[in-house]
Amino acid sequence: MRAFLLGVGVVGALAALCFPAAAEADQKFRIVNDARTEINARVRMYSDDFTRISVGNEATMKLPTGRSTAGVEIKTRKKWERCFVYAFPGAIVVAKQDHAKLICRVMR
């Protein structure tokens, strides 16, 4: 069993070295703004700066190195409502506004 896991680890490391662009492309996720107002988004605990996303637009964000999931904090600009979800590589995070409340969902 240990030899199998060691072999899998070596193959994974070689694949990351041979195909770095493919490994980096997998570490991204999208945020779509379907809310009625502009939103600000960031990867929580790894980024201090918020990315501003206008109404109807989307942004691509990168997961921290070595992480399979990351917490994403999204807040509105006017009322400072917040929502928090966990995103994974290739996920689509959709921010919507239900009446006055901001709702975030992760879709694949």
We report the CATH number of the domain holding residue 54 as 2.60.40
Q: Residue 93 in contact with residue 53, Cβ under 8 Å?
A: no
Q: Where are the alpha helices (DSSP H) in 19-93?
A: 20-25
65 falls within a domain: yes
Q: Does residue 14 sit within a domain?
A: no
Helix (H) or strand (E) run with residue 2 in it: helix 2-18
CB 88 within 8 A of CB 71: no
Mind listing the pLDDT tens digit for each residue in 9-46? 444 544 454 555 545 557 899 999 999 899 999 998 88
Q: Domain range spanning residue 32?
A: 27-107
Is 33 within the bounds of a domain? Answer: yes
Q: For residue 34, is it within any domain? A: yes
**Is 50 a domain residue?**
yes
pLDDT of residue 71: 94
CB-CB contact of 12 with 22 (8 Å)? no
**5 falls within a domain:** no
How many domains are there within the chain?
A: 1
Instruction: State both tokens at 14.
Output: 């070689």
Both tokens assigned to 44: 């929580």
Residue 33 region by backbone torsions, left for phi larger than 0, else alpha for psi between -120 and 50, else beta: beta
Contact 59, 30 (CB under 8 A): yes
pLDDT tens readout for residues 73-105: 999 977 778 999 999 999 999 999 888 789 999
Q: What pLDDT is stored for residue 52 in this prediction?
A: 95
Indicate whether 98 belongs to any domain: yes
With respect to residue 103, please indicate whether it lies within any of the assigned structural domains: yes
pLDDT attached to residue 82: 92
Q: What's the whole-model pTM score?
A: 0.72
Per-residue confidence (pLDDT) for residue 22, from 0 to 100: 47
